[in-house]
Amino acid sequence: MTDRADLKERYSQSLNAVISRVTDWTHEQSNFHRNDENAMRMMAALARSYTWGFDAISVANKGKMVSQAAARASEVYWTLTERTPFLWRTIENDHSGRSWHYLAEVATAFHGDFPETRTWLDFIFQTFYNVYPSWADESGGWHEGLIYWKAYLSLFRDFVPTLRNVYKINIFKNPYFHKIGNMALYTLPMSHQTPKLNLNAGKSKRTSAFDTL
């Protein structure tokens, strides 16, 4: 985090204090079925803080993080494979189309900390190569509309550096991502001086192709 010993100690104490508080909030209190928005972001926070602050995290807090990450990720994996099998029923629940890459972050960050991560990664790459994104095709379109196109891909974007740096996967070799910019170019005006557009899901926004890209 820093080479200065005084700051390192201060940041380490603050980090461990936050982790201790967060991991005391059990996954049963904020589980995936009650509120998947919170649960997915909690998974991401656990994975990212575990990698970013690993050397500064106490042994006790590491154990709590591993335990909670395993519980949360197991719940998501069950949802994606048993409750509504995403590989076979991809369009029935659009939230499943983003929860898999939060699961991927946990499976990567905690790989080796519990045995299920290998199974999860196998599922994750089957998903990425075979059905993701399920709302699009090789032309670069997105049949949920512009708001969801931008929102869901912005969430997936956080996982792209992991694909590139850890797994050496260039997403732009994927037929869809090779033409990902077409959606904005085909459907949004080029000028910044545009009226608000009624995009979808009851939302309006002033935007342009260049803003979006």
Candidates 2, 39, 34, 5; CA nearest to 22 is 39
Q: Which two tokens stand for residue 83?
A: 């409750």
Rounded CA separation 104/121 (Å):
7
Sign of the torsion angle spanned by Cα atoms 84, 90, 94, 100: positive
CA dist 122 → 17, 118, 171, 202, 204 (Å): 34, 6, 17, 37, 39
Candidates 95, 97, 103; CA nearest to 120 is 103
Per-residue pLDDT of the chain in tens (213 residues, 90 and over written 9)? 556 777 678 888 899 999 999 888 876 666 655 666 777 888 889 999 999 899 999 999 999 999 999 988 988 898 888 877 766 665 666 667 788 899 999 999 999 999 999 999 999 999 898 888 877 778 877 777 778 888 888 889 989 999 999 999 999 998 889 888 888 777 776 655 554 554 445 444 555 444 555
pLDDT at 171: 92
pLDDT at 204: 47
pLDDT at 202: 47
Are the beta carbons of 76 and 99 closer than 8 angstroms?
yes
Domain boundaries along the sequence of the chain: 1-132, 136-213
